[in-house]
């Protein structure tokens, strides 16, 4: 009679050696296939003496059951290890904090500067710049604002030395002086930039931004100023119609001077620019004072023109519904994420300023 014990241990070793599913399938046929080890053992029953048959068959049957069980167990082990491998590879720790992507954003002030630059460049204005640290002459005297002039007090100036000749510019108007001193008329420029005053609350920040405009030529009059500002306000607020009011005012460097208000109303809790019966001041302007032209060696009998100064931060707040100016300069990344603009979407007149 076959040595079933030895055969059993051979079979078990074989099964143990199966390292993957295909090896396992091969071994399974080697055991239970048509010519498999156990199949062959069953065939031998008929060769045995009657007396031996019963015991042999019963031992063979239990061997078959044992091997079948082991094979089955092995199969579940394979499946399990495959699942484990997958779980390990695709493991996600849901308790970890989320990884956030921050794309850079354009600050609303930069956005508005880009927008106004685009608007004014369409009608022939070039962009000029001047330094933040100015001297007293460019910031005040050349602009027809002599010492002891009350306008100087109103500017809450940051002086940088005791003799008070160096200061942080209180407005962008000194760029008018610098531009006219270095060139010859005609002049048609805008100058966006930082300005400084000793003032801080919800609508004032010690550093803020202005946009200066200057247009000097032989036949420039107040009608041109009006037309230019109408065009600007309509383009900037992206509205068809706009109500504008010119209110007499005073600036030392313009004569006559005006402050410009735009009409607005509150609709569904939101500000609507251009219509309605409320007025909002947005800029100062006027015809450049002959004394200013004289100071920069431009003949006021031959040349004249207009100038204007707009608060850029204020424009940004109005257009984009931001109500606290101080947040502009807090560098809070969450604020910028919310109010900022796509860096790849540069404002142009033909594609739309803000989308
Ligand atoms: N510089 C003025 C200010 O800061 C604003 C201003 C008013 C500018 C009238 C101008 C102007 O050019 O013509 O308050």
Residue 21 or 316, more confident: 316
Average pLDDT over residues 91-106: 83
Residue nearest atom 12 in ligand 1 by C-alpha distance? 308
Residue nearest atom 3 in ligand 1 by C-alpha distance? 171
pLDDT at residue 249, rounded to an integer: 96
Mean pLDDT of the chain: 91
- Provide Rg for the chain, Cα atoms: 43
Question: Does 139 sit in the ligand 1 pocket, CB within 6 Å?
Answer: no
pLDDT at residue 268, rounded to an integer: 85
By most ligand atoms within 8 Å of CB, the mutation choice from 285, 288, 290, 305 for ligand 1 is 285
pLDDT digits (tens, 9 = 90+) for 191-228: 999 999 998 887 789 999 999 999 999 999 999 999 99
Task: Find out whether 118 and 112 touch, Cβ atoms under 8 Å.
Answer: no
pLDDT digits (tens, 9 = 90+) for 230-242: 999 999 999 988 8
Question: Does 157 sit in the ligand 1 pocket, CB within 6 Å?
Answer: no
Interatomic CA distance for residues 289 and 189, integer angstroms: 17
Average pLDDT over residues 153-160: 85
Nearest to 229 by CA among 253, 259, 270, 184: 259
pLDDT at residue 352, rounded to an integer: 66
Is 0.85 topped by the overall pTM?
A: no
**Distance from the alpha carbon of residue 312 to the mean position of ligand 1, in angstroms:** 13
Question: Does 171 sit in the ligand 1 pocket, CB within 6 Å?
Answer: yes
**Distance from the alpha carbon of residue 210 to the mean position of ligand 1, in angstroms:** 9
Helix (H, G, I), strand (E, B) or coil at 349: coil
State what percent of residues in the chain have pLDDT above 70. Answer: 97
Which residues, 6 or more positions from 305, have their beta carbon under 8 angstroms from its beta carbon? 187, 214, 215, 216, 217, 220, 224, 287, 288
Residue 106 or 1, more confident: 106
pLDDT at residue 131, rounded to an integer: 98
Question: Does 347 sit in the ligand 1 pocket, CB within 6 Å?
Answer: no
- Using CB atoms within 10 Å of the CB of residue 65, give its burial: 0 to 12 exposed, 13 to 18 middle, 19+ buried: exposed
218-223 long-range contacts, Cβ below 8 Å, gap at least 24? 218/186, 218/302, 218/303, 218/304, 220/304, 220/305, 220/306, 221/287, 221/304, 222/256, 222/287, 222/306
Residue 246 or 268, more confident: 246
Neighbouring C-beta atoms of residue 140, cutoff 10 Å: 25
Average pLDDT over residues 88-100: 85
By most ligand atoms within 8 Å of CB, the mutation choice from 138, 251, 296, 311 for ligand 1 is 251
* Topology given in CATH for the domain delimited by 108-339: BirA Bifunctional Protein; domain 2 (3.30.930)
Closest ligand 1 atom, residue 173 Cα:
1
Task: Find out whether 128 and 175 touch, Cβ atoms under 8 Å.
Answer: yes
Residue 300 has pLDDT above 60, yes or no: yes
pLDDT digits (tens, 9 = 90+) for 42-61: 888 888 888 888 888 899 89
pLDDT digits (tens, 9 = 90+) for 247-265: 999 999 999 999 999 988 8
Phi, psi values for residue 201, rounded to 5° = -160, -160
Local confidence band at 149 (pLDDT 50, 70, 90 cut-offs):
confident
Interatomic CA distance for residues 158 and 186, integer angstroms: 33
Residue nearest atom 7 in ligand 1 by C-alpha distance? 284
Residue 128 has pLDDT above 90, yes or no: yes
Tokens describing residue 24: 């396992």
**Distance from the alpha carbon of residue 78 to the mean position of ligand 1, in angstroms:** 82
Neighbouring C-beta atoms of residue 120, cutoff 10 Å: 23
Average pLDDT over residues 135-158: 89
Question: Does 289 sit in the ligand 1 pocket, CB within 6 Å?
Answer: no
Nearest to 24 by CA among 84, 72, 80, 86: 72
């Amino acid at each position: 009679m076959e040595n079933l014990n030895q055969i059993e241990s051979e079979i078990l070793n074989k099964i143990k050696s199966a390292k993957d599913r295909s090896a396992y399938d091969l071994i399974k046929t080697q055991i239970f296939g048509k010519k498999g080890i156990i199949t062959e053992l069953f065939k031998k029953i008929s060769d045995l003496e009657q007396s031996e048959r019963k015991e042999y068959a019963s031992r063979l049957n239990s061997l078959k059951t044992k091997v079948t069980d082991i094979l089955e167990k092995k199969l579940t082990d394979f499946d399990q290890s495959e699942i484990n491998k997958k779980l390990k590879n695709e493991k996600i720790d849901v308790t970890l904090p989320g990884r956030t992507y921050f794309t850079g954003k354009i600050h609303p002030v930069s956005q508005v500067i880009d927008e106004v630059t685009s608007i004014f460049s369409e009608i022939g204005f070039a962009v000029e710049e001047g330094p933040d640290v100015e001297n007293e002459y460019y910031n005040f005297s050349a602009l027809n604002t002599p010492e002891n002039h009350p306008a100087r007090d109103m500017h809450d100036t940051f002086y940088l030395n005791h003799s008070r000749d160096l200061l942080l510019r209180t407005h962008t108007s000194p760029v008018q002086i610098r531009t006219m001193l270095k060139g010859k008329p005609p002049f048609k420029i805008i100058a966006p930039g930082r300005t400084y005053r000793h003032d801080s609350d919800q609508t004032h920040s010690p550093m803020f931004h202005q946009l200066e405009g200057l247009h000097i030529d032989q036949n420039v009059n107040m009608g041109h100023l009006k037309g230019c500002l109408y065009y600007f306000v309509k383009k900037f607020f992206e509205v068809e119609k706009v109500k504008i009011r010119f209110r007499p005012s005073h600036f030392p460097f313009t004569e006559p001077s005006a402050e410009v208000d735009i009409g607005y109303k509150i609709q569904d809790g939101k500000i609507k620019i251009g219509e309605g019966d409320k007025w909002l001041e947005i800029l100062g302007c006027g015809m450049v004072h002959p004394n200013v032209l004289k100071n920069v060696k431009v003949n006021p009998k031959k040349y004249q023109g207009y100038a204007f100064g707009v608060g850029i931060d204020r424009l940004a707040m109005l257009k984009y519904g931001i109500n606290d100016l101080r947040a502009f300069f807090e560098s809070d990344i969450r604020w910028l994420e919310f109010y900022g603009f796509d860096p790849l979407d540069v404002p142009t007149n033909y594609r739309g300023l803000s989308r």
